[in-house]
């Protein structure tokens, strides 16, 4: 018997073992399936969680198991699966579950207290769900938890004292919730806490608990953008392990604690910006030489000098104290820290200097100390900080001359030294080839504007106003992509380079009585005459070239036609191909024959070629626009592009009916409108249109553009908005034509056409010269010019009778509005005073649209809304698009 039993034991044992393994395995599978059964999983992300699954449950989505052979579930990680439903406590039957991560889902319920039954649970991540309700006292039941993340939910109410019961907590993130009230003192019981985030709880109204200083393991304190008020407890800045301290955007006040202890040893980021903090920082703070007299000068010195003081601040990368009321000398030591990247102290009352030791800050990237009382020279060493890309120290008391190297950092992008007391000349800038913005306004700089500025390829904002600069404006500057060029109130003289004056407000030049040029109070008479003749000559030359080019093309085309008398439109032979989106019933020959001087519309035609009115055999009229085919578009892509244009259906956009093309030419066929263009109308001396009609035109054009920009797929740019391209139908409803030609002829051809034909056009925005690609804002600008034409009744470009002085409307308007009551003088005197208010409001819109800085211009939709609010008439909804089909002819 005994032997029997003993022989049986191994068998029994092995049997039990297998059974145990089996049960535990099935059980865990079942537990998981039960947990899944209460969850809604619309994307079927948990498809592997299935009894039929061939996989072991440890291999199911999101499951982590301990190492085999035990292979028990230790982690369930179901982040970002769009899960909702109920978080069931059944999961707590997993005996070894330590991590439950359900972040980034749609669980919509109170804090799942039932999970406190998970006795091994250490990490609970419910961040970014729809958890609501308060934190109940029972939260303290989660004894085992080390990491709790409830951030980005809708948890509300007070944080209970009971939170102090979670004595094992290392990470507590309650950020971005709706917590309110006072933060309980029980926080000081969380002595294991390393990471505390109570940020973005704008309803919290609390002092920072003074006991926080007892949490000596704290490495990160994130309390930004909440409602913390009162003083910063001394103990906060005494925490030794602190790496990140962010108290920014609260309501903290009072004098900032002086007792920086060894908290500075590990500190990487210090941010107390946007509070109401006062006082000064201790002298010698962050002094790298270890010469620290920390706290010694304060009354509250408690006798303990920081033991590791020599290492202080060595890890500091970000120091942000901007927008407070700090005063006293800015800590010198900060300027030479080897790891410092960011110093922001603007809008305080700091005094002090920028020392030469800044050269040791070899990683410094960004300095903003505007609006303080820094008083020193600009250190010559500034240029040796090769990582510095922003240096902004406006509104201080900096004095002396700019050192030649001040802008030598090869990555320098923004430099603002305006509103200081700098004197002497502006050095030649050669090395900061990434410089985008340079402001030296409101100093006492003398000498000439350095010509080397013209060699800075991306310089866009240049403000040298209110100095004592002399000499002339370097010609080279007009090659830059300047969106802002302000040299007002200096003592500059001579001729302003023409490209600088067009498109920039005249106010940027004012206060320089000796500057001359078109649009300025003083014209340069001699130069003007010469410039005009030159223009006239080139115009004549250009016209000749165009004509001869046109003749050649006509001859070639005629040749082709005589040769291929009997081609068929779709036959793809004979060099001509046609695609009609409407049944036009006309042959190419007939079309070409019909395009002669008699049928040419308008004077001189559009920008790319002339437009002809052609009568179809049916008696209907169509407009045909002739373009030069540079030939870089294949027939197929040409068809695709024109089709894109032809599909547009909007009441304010002319319909494209079809096109035909040879290797040399493209004829675009548009619907014909009875009246002529807005441009032709404004040009007439008897132009008389009441304001309501003008407003209607303005709104219509804006709607058409808004449709192209935003509603139509693909989004299109017009790229040639001008009054000549706005046709009016019999009811004065405007229709845009000539749009999207860049797509038809190709960008290169379009650009070269612009370069030759567009030259002195005030419809072109200032950034045209430098912007790499066309933008909506460019259309908005051109639209603004059209709006000015409607408001003033003046042509955008017109030869003033007599003098031959080329005055464009924008300069004219800008000069007018600079004087008192000038705006009213801009309005078309032929319109009755009763419309004055509306017209002035429209003028404001037009000025926004034509602002020199593209980012200041509104979108076309904003323009539509603004104009509609001026008009009481009902707005018509754009017709919906319908797909045009190729109609075989």
Ligand X SMILES: *[C@@H]1O[C@H](CO)[C@@H](O)[C@H](O)[C@H]1NC(C)=O
Give the footprint of ligand X on this chain (CB under 6 A): 43, 45, 56, 58-59, 71, 79-82, 103-104, 125, 127, 147, 149, 161-162, 164-165, 171, 173, 186, 189, 227, 229, 251, 283-284, 287, 291, 293, 347-349, 370-371, 394-395, 416, 418-419, 437, 439, 444, 461, 468
Q: Decide whether 58 or 244 has the Cβ nearer to ligand X.
A: 58
Minimum distance of ligand X from residue 522's CB (angstroms) = 20
Sheet of 665-671: strands edge to edge?
577-580, 656-661, 665-671, 621-628, 611-615
Beta strand ranges found along 758-856 (DSSP E) = 797-799, 806-808
Tokens 């700019």 map to which residue?
402
Minimum distance of ligand X from residue 338's CB (angstroms) = 19
* CA–CA distances in Å: residue 355 to residues 61, 331, 335, 359: 58, 11, 7, 9
> Does residue 816 contact residue 803 with C-beta atoms inside 8 Å?
no
| Secondary structure (3-state) at 824 | helix
> Does residue 867 contact residue 695 with C-beta atoms inside 8 Å?
yes
Beta strand ranges found along 309-450 (DSSP E) = 318-320, 325-329, 342-344, 349-351, 366-368, 390-392, 399-401, 414-416, 421-425, 437-439, 444-446
Q: Decide whether 423 or 475 has the Cβ nearer to ligand X.
A: 423
Minimum distance of ligand X from residue 283's CB (angstroms) = 5
Q: Decide whether 194 or 473 has the Cβ nearer to ligand X.
A: 194
Burial readout 352-386 (b: 16 or more C-beta within 10 A, e: otherwise): bebbbbbbbbeebbbbbbbbbebebebbbbbbbbe
Q: Decide whether 260 or 576 has the Cβ nearer to ligand X.
A: 260
Q: Decide whether 117 or 162 has the Cβ nearer to ligand X.
A: 162
Distance between terminal CA atoms of the chain? 106
What's the rounded Cα separation, in Å, for the pair 788 and 846?
A: 6
Minimum distance of ligand X from residue 148's CB (angstroms) = 8
Minimum distance of ligand X from residue 212's CB (angstroms) = 14
Minimum distance of ligand X from residue 258's CB (angstroms) = 14
Structural element, H or E, at residue 156: strand 154-157
Q: Decide whether 164 or 740 has the Cβ nearer to ligand X.
A: 164
Phi/psi at 73 (5° precision)? -70, 125
Q: Decide whether 400 or 829 has the Cβ nearer to ligand X.
A: 400
Minimum distance of ligand X from residue 434's CB (angstroms) = 15
Q: Decide whether 160 or 403 has the Cβ nearer to ligand X.
A: 160
Minimum distance of ligand X from residue 435's CB (angstroms) = 11
Minimum distance of ligand X from residue 150's CB (angstroms) = 10
Minimum distance of ligand X from residue 415's CB (angstroms) = 9
Minimum distance of ligand X from residue 375's CB (angstroms) = 16
> Does residue 569 contact residue 586 with C-beta atoms inside 8 Å?
no
Query: 837: how many CB neighbours lie within 10 A of its CB?
Result: 10
Residues 6+ apart with CB under 8 A from 768: 778
Q: Sign of torsion, CA 112 118 119 123?
A: negative
Q: In 571-690, which ranges are continuous DSSP H helix?
A: 588-594, 635-646, 678-683
Q: Decide whether 347 or 652 has the Cβ nearer to ligand X.
A: 347
Minimum distance of ligand X from residue 186's CB (angstroms) = 4
Q: Decide whether 162 or 807 has the Cβ nearer to ligand X.
A: 162
Tokens 């806490």 map to which residue?
193
Strands 390-392 and 366-368: parallel
What's the rounded Cα separation, in Å, for the pair 530 and 496?
A: 15
What tokens does 263 get? Answer: 């908290």
Q: Decide whether 188 or 805 has the Cβ nearer to ligand X.
A: 188
Residues 6+ apart with CB under 8 A from 6: none
Q: Decide whether 391 or 691 has the Cβ nearer to ligand X.
A: 391
Minimum distance of ligand X from residue 339's CB (angstroms) = 21
Angle made by CA atoms 676, 681, 686, in degrees to the nearest 5: 140
Report the candidate in 362, 355, 345 with the shortest Cα–Cα distance to residue 281: 345
> Does residue 389 contact residue 366 with C-beta atoms inside 8 Å?
yes
Residue 370, Ramachandran bin (φ over 0: left; ψ between -120 and 50: alpha; else beta): beta
Q: Decide whether 184 or 257 has the Cβ nearer to ligand X.
A: 184
For the CA atoms of the chain, what is the radius of gyration? 37
């Amino acid at each position: 018997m005994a032997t029997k039993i003993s022989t049986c034991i191994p068998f029994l044992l092995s049997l039990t073992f297998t059974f145990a393994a089996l049960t535990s395995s099935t059980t865990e599978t079942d537990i998981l399936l039960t947990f899944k059964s209460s969850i809604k999983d619309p994307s079927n992300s948990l498809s592997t969680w299935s009894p039929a699954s061939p996989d072991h449950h440890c291999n199911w989505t999101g499951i982590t198991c301990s190492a085999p052979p035990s292979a028990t579930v230790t982690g369930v990680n179901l982040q970002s699966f769009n899960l909702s439903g109920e978080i069931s406590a059944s999961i707590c039957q997993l005996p070894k579950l330590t991590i439950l991560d359900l972040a980034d889902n749609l669980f919509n319920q109170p804090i799942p207290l039932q999970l406190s039954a998970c006795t091994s649970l250490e990490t609970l991540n419910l961040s970014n769900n729809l958890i609501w309700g308060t934190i109940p006292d029972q939260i303290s039941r989660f004894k085992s938890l080390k990491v709790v993340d409830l951030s980005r939910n809708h948890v509300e109410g007070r944080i209970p004292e009971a939170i102090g019961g979670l004595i094992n907590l290392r990470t507590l993130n309650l950020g971005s919730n709706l917590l309110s009230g006072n933060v309980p003192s029980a926080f000081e019981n969380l002595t294991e806490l390393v990471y505390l985030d109570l940020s973005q709880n704008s309803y919290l109204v609390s002092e920072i608990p003074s006991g926080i200083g007892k949490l000596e393991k704290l490495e990160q304190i994130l309390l930004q953008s909440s409602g913390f008020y009162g003083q910063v407890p001394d103990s906060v800045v005494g925490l030794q392990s602190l790496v990140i301290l962010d108290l920014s955007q609260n309501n903290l006040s009072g004098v900032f604690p002086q007792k920086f202890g060894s908290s500075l040893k590990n500190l990487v980021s210090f941010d107390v910006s946007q509070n109401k903090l006062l006082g000064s920082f201790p002298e010698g703070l962050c002094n790298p030489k270890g010469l620290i007299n920390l706290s010694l000068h304060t009354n509250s010195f408690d006798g303990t000098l920081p033991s590791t003081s020599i290492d202080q601040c060595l890890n500091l990368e970000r120091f942000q104290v901007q927008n407070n009321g700090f005063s006293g000398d800015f800590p010198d030591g900060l300027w030479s820290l080897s790891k410092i990247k960011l110093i922001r102290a603007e809008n305080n009352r700091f005094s002090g200097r920028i020392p030469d030791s800044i050269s040791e800050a070899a990683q410094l990237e960004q300095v903003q100390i505007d609006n303080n009382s820094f008083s020193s020279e600009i250190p010559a060493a500034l240029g040796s900080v090769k990582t510095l890309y922003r240096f902004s120290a406006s509104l201080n008391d900096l004095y002396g001359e700019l050192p030649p190297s001040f802008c030598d950092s090869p990555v320098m992008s923004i430099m603002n030294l305006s509103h200081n007391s700098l004197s002497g000349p502006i050095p030649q800038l050669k090395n900061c080839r990434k410089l985008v913005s340079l402001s030296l306004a409101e100093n006492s700089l003398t000498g000439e504007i350095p010509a080397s500025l013209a060699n800075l390829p991306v310089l866009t904002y240049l403000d040298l106003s209110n100095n004592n600069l002399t000499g002339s404006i370097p010609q080279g500057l007009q090659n830059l992509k300047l969106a802002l060029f302000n040299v007002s109130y200096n003592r500059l003289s001579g001729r302003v380079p023409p490209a600088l004056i067009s498109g920039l407000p005249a106010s940027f030049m004012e206060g320089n009585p000796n500057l001359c040029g078109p649009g300025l109070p003083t014209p340069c008479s001699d130069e003007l005459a010469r410039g005009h003749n030159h223009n006239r000559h080139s115009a004549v030359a250009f016209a000749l070239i165009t004509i001869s080019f046109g003749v050649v093309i006509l001859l070639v085309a005629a040749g082709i036609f005589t040769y291929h008398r009997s081609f068929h439109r779709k036959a793809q032979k004979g060099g001509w191909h046609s695609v009609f989106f409407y049944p036009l019933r006309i042959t190419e020959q007939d079309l070409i024959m019909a395009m002669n001087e008699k049928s040419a519309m308008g004077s001189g035609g559009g920008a790319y070629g002339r437009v002809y009115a052609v009568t179809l055999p049916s008696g209907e009229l169509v407009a045909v626009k002739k373009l030069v085919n540079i030939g870089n578009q294949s027939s197929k892509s040409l068809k695709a592009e024109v089709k894109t244009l032809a599909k547009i259906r909007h009441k304010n956009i002319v319909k494209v009916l079809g096109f035909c093309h040879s290797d040399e030419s493209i004829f675009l066929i548009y619907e014909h409108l009875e009246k002529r263009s807005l441009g032709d109308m404004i040009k007439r001396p008897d132009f008389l249109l009441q304001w309501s009609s003008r407003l209607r035109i303005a709104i219509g054009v804006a709607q058409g553009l808004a449709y192209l920009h935003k509603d139509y797929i693909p989004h299109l740019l017009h790229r040639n908005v001008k009054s000549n391209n706005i046709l009016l139908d019999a009811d004065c409803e405007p229709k845009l034509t000539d749009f999207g030609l860049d797509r038809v002829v190709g960008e290169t051809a379009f650009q070269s056409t612009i370069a030759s034909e567009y030259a002195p056009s005030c419809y072109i925005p200032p950034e045209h010269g430098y912007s790499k690609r066309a933008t909506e804002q460019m259309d908005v600008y051109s639209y603004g010019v059209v709006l000015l034409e409607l408001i003033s009744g003046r042509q955008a470009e017109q030869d003033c009778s007599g003098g031959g002085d080329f005055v464009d409307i924008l300069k004219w308007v800008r000069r007018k509005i600079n004087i008192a009551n000038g705006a009213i003088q801009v309005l078309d005197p032929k319109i009755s005073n009763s419309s004055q208010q509306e017209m002035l409001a429209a003028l404001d819109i037009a000025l926004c649209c034509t602002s020199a800085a593209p980012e200041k211009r509104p979108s076309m939709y904003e323009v539509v809304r603004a104009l509609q609010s001026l008009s009481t008439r009902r707005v018509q909804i754009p017709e919906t698009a319908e797909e045009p089909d190729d109609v075989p002819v």
